[in-house]
Every structure is written in structure tokens, then in C-alpha cells.
Structure 1
Amino acid sequence: MAKGSVRKKGKKWYYRFYVEDQSGNLVQKEYAGTESKSETEKLLRQAMDDYENKRFVAKMDNLTVGDLLDLWSEEELKTGTLSNGTVENYLGAIRVIKKHPIADRKLKNVTAQHLQSFFDLLTFGGEYPDGTVKKGYSKDYIHSFSAVLQQAFRFAVFPKQLITFNPMQYIKLKKQAEDVDLFSDDDFEEGVQPISHEDYQRLIKYLEEKNPPAILPIQIAYYAGLRIGEVCGLTWQDINLEEQYLTIKRSIRYDGARHKNIIGPTKRKKVRIVDFGDTLAGILKEARKEQLKKPDAVW
């Protein structure tokens, strides 16, 4: 924000304020006002407002797609109601996008054609601008990239009013080629490989010493292939020990903004049936038996 003041020289008042020169240094500019101090102060406020507006427009004219993603993540993504996992997923997508030259394009100049070419490269793979050759990303990752850019450009249209329309509305997510490796991703931090049995055993041994109540949820997640939020949403009414299946109806997530756990639908918002084998059946039967012995215990 520009700072200014008024002063009187002879019969006339003058107003002055600091502005940035082309080198970014602050220099003081002074202009003649009137013989009235209040009128000169009004001229000062108008001049500073005009200067700030022009500087804002100049700054916005140079805003890049990468700058927009940073702005959106700080003002919308991190302060919203999405789960911590989704926020981290989107932040990971932003890091990948910012490695591509499309992030350096000025926001006012980026077109649907630029974005379509970017998504085609992500989907089918090929040679990147830095000369590296990569295979395509999986469908889930592509949808994450799409969600990030859709919401960021929508944010740029409103409430920011940086552009007049969202070019992402014209993007078509094409079907991935059959020979694309769905798990080829050396940029994304969140891996897709399941935990090994050796790592699972080490984890259980650690929990036996540090946090025994956490063992059962980990066992269910491991043997049934569930998300941990889905495991935390289970009740005994959702577990059929005789026919050995789980009914997944809900999920629990931590809301960082509200600092509390939220019970809601599963990620796909669908109820599903998950079968389990004899190993998990034995674990659950034993847990149920122990719980009935200690009804006041935490499970």
C-alpha cells in the first residue's frame, strides 16, 4: 500500500507519496494540490487509489498458471473442508503441474488447446519439454490434475475475476491407451504399491509395544483392503462373521479446519460388500469375544 502525506508551501498545499520505479525501488512523487488542505488530502487519496489499482492490474497481467495454483491452494484449498488426504493429493498434483512449462504461461494467455495438449501428454505419455520420456499417469491421477485445474480456474473467474471464462470447461479427458503403465509415476509422492507382509508384521510388532488398540483397525485394513477411514467407520452390525463379509457404508475423516472427526460417506459415495478370509474372520471373532468380556474397554 502506497504511503503519502501533504504539506504546505506558501499558500498552496502539495501531496506526495511513494511509488515503485522500474527497478522496484521506492521513489517519492510530489504533485500540486489546492489552497485547501482537505481538498489536497482528497486528491492524495484518489492518486494513491489510482496507483494501487494500476499496479494491481499490471501484476495480474503477469500472473502465471503456477502463480494461480499457489494463490488457490493458499486461499481455498488449505482453508476448505476437504479431508487431509485429498488436500495432500491435490498439493502433490500442483507440484507435478508446476514442473511443466504450462505453469509458466501467463494466465490471460493460456487456452483450452494448451490445456488439452497438457492432459493428452499426462494421459498417453511421451516426450516432455525437458527431453525426458514418461509413460501416462493412471486415471485417478488424471482426475486429480483435472480437479485441481478446474477449481483453480473457476476460482480465477470468481471470486478473483482475473479471467472471464474457465478454459478447463472445454477439456476432454481421453481414454488411456492400453499399453500405458497405470502405475508409472516417479513424480507423485503418494505411491500405489500395497504394504508388504514383512512391513505389515513389523508394523503390528511396533503397535503391540506402542499402541495396542490400533492393531485391530490395521488388521482389518490389511486383510480386507479397506481405507483406514472406512475401517474406523465400521460397527459390529456391518460385520457378518458367519458369511465372512463387511458392509462398507461410511467413512471417518479428520477435518483439519474444524479440528474434529467427521462421519460421512465413503470416497465413492457408494455402499459396497467386501468379503474376507479365514484369517481375518479368526481375528474378528477373537476381538468380539474379548470385547464382550470387557464391555467398558475402548475398541
Structure 2
Amino acid sequence: MPVYKDKNIKKKEKWYFEVELGLDENGKRKRYRERGFRTKKEAEEAMIKAKRNFMEGTYTDTKNLTYQELFNQWINTKKDISEATKELYLTYFRIHLNPGIGSYKLNKLSPFIIQRFINTLYDKNLSSSSVKRIYSVVRSSLQYAVRMQLLSTNFADSIEKPKENTMKEVKVWSTSEVKQFISSIEGASRYAIAYKLAVYTGMRQGEILGLRWKDINFEKSYLTVQQKLTHKGKIESGAKNKGSMRNISLNKYIIEELLKHKEIIELEKVDNQNHYQDNNLVVCTEIGTPCHPRNLLRLLYSHIEQSGVSRIKFHDLRHTHASLLLLADVNIKIISERLGHASIRITLDTYAHLLPNMQKEAIKKLDTLFGE
């Protein structure tokens, strides 16, 4: 009989089963044993299920399942995340998770091992936000294992959870630097419109590169963010989050710049009509294809060097837009909506260090209110 009673009578879980599952690659008999059953009936039912799964080709030796195998199964179930997010998770796995805990069998994992792994991420000087995201991947994948009854508990829930440093330091240009940079790129690059959109709308790079002419309402002076270009140069409908799908009002200057740029695009369509690919994109190559994000970044650094302003990243143009709005005393809720943040809290956490005078201004207004 393949169901046995454990000889150690001190154990509360007294039954186990052992079955043969054919031959391995060396011609030896392959046996599978599973312990921990309180009754003989439970052991028999589990044995029958294991045999059936093996016959149907769906058998998984959960006893020897590694975290690497679990991650691969879990990531394939994530249909609700964007391609960019999936690529980020795979990068985390390749660089950090697989070398750290990939070879561990699930039944050998523990809170101690997970905590030790998280500690190594800090040793690598990763940012607090990166550590928190990697922890979230570990937790989510182990939660999947719990749902699939591969684990009885999620070990990631028992450790000291990483905390993201909410006081994010962001680099921004001053008003004079913005004027200096904008002046220097006039007529210097066909992609100048991309940098102007970043400064004057606060759009993300992918949103700018995915912007279409049909997304702009010139009559009512606003644009709608409806799609983006991924870092791999692929157009993807939708946005980063629900709040990212938004309308952004445009000032007179950027409207005029967009109309000038549209004239250039129309001329290029005529000049390259035999091989022009009309994707209706605002920012595109001379033949209408999407502009690769890396090319846009390389050109930005070149323009920065030529203009003499401080070196910042493309994403910092978005931060610069937010800082200009704060200087203009625009309501933080409006700023959050323009940036497409999921909540005002994110906006406040990101730009808190740019608001050192908010309390002083509040007190002044309070004094004015009471006539003091």
C-alpha cells in the first residue's frame, strides 16, 4: 500500500504517501513522497490527485519547486500589468532576485532568508523606492504560491517591510535656466517640441512620444493623454495609471509652437511620401516613425551642454514644470491633476522640499484674514 503511517507517534500529522512516477532521464525509478496528513483518508486523496496530475501531464513536484520556477509561473499570470512593468519585474529578477533567492526550494524559504535578501539590496546602495518595489515583487509572487497552496504562509509578510524615502530630491531648472535652454534650442532641433512639451505640460517622456495630433484640441487649447511609447519603442494604449489618462490645458506659447511643428511635419510627409509611415505622431522621425527614447535623451544632453544650463534628466523637465507651477502659487490639486499622479499625496511627497515657504505664506494669509 502506498499510504503509510508515520512511525514517529509524537507527530500529530501521522500519514504520508509515496508513489512511483515512472523513470527519470537516467532510467531510475522516480518516487514522490509527501508527508503531513492527519488521516489516512487525506493521504489517499492527495495521492490520487498526484497520480492523476502526473497522468495528465500537469504534475509539479512541489517539494523541489524553486523560487525561480515559481517566479516564472507567477509572471505569466500577470495579465493586468503593462509591458513596461513586466519588463521591469523581469529585470529585477535577472539582476537581483534570481542570484539572491532563485535557487532556493520553496519549502526551504523562511522569513530569515527573505529578510537577509532584502538587506543585501541596501548593501548594493539601491534607492529605497527600488528596494520597496523588489520587495513587492517577492511578496506578490509568494502570495501567488499561497493561493496555489504551494505555501501555507507568505514569508514576506513577516519581515521588516522596506520604507520608501518620501523626501525625494529632484533636480529642477530655475526660471532663468528654462528661458536660456528654450532660447538655445529654437531652430536647433526638430525634436525641440518634445522638450518644450515636457517643460510646459509636465508630461512624461513616453506620453510625449506617444502623443498624436488627433489628441490635441487646438480650438479649446488642451490635449488628451491616451497612449504612450515604451522604452523599447513600442506604442502602447492607455497610461501609467488611471489618473494618467487626463486632459492638460495648453498655454498660448505651446499652442503656437505645436502649430509651427505641424507645418514641418506636413512638409516632411510630402518630401518623403513614397516611404512615409503616418502614425499621426507629434514627435516622430522624418519618415513618421516613433522617435526612440534613447535618441531623445542623447540630444537633450547635447542641447544642455550647448546651452550652458545645469545637467538634468528628461524626467526632470517634468519636475521643472511642477516647480514653475508651485512658484506661480498654483493649487497643489491642479498640479497633481496635470502631472497625472494617482493621488495628491504623491505630489506633496515628491515636491515637499520645494515648498519651504508654504507655512510662512500660510501665516501671512492668516494674519491678513484677521487684520493683524
Normalization by structure 1: what TM-score? 0.50
Greater relative contact order structure (CA < 8 Å, 6+ sep): 2
TM-score, structure 2 length as denominator? 0.42
> Which has the larger share of strand?
1
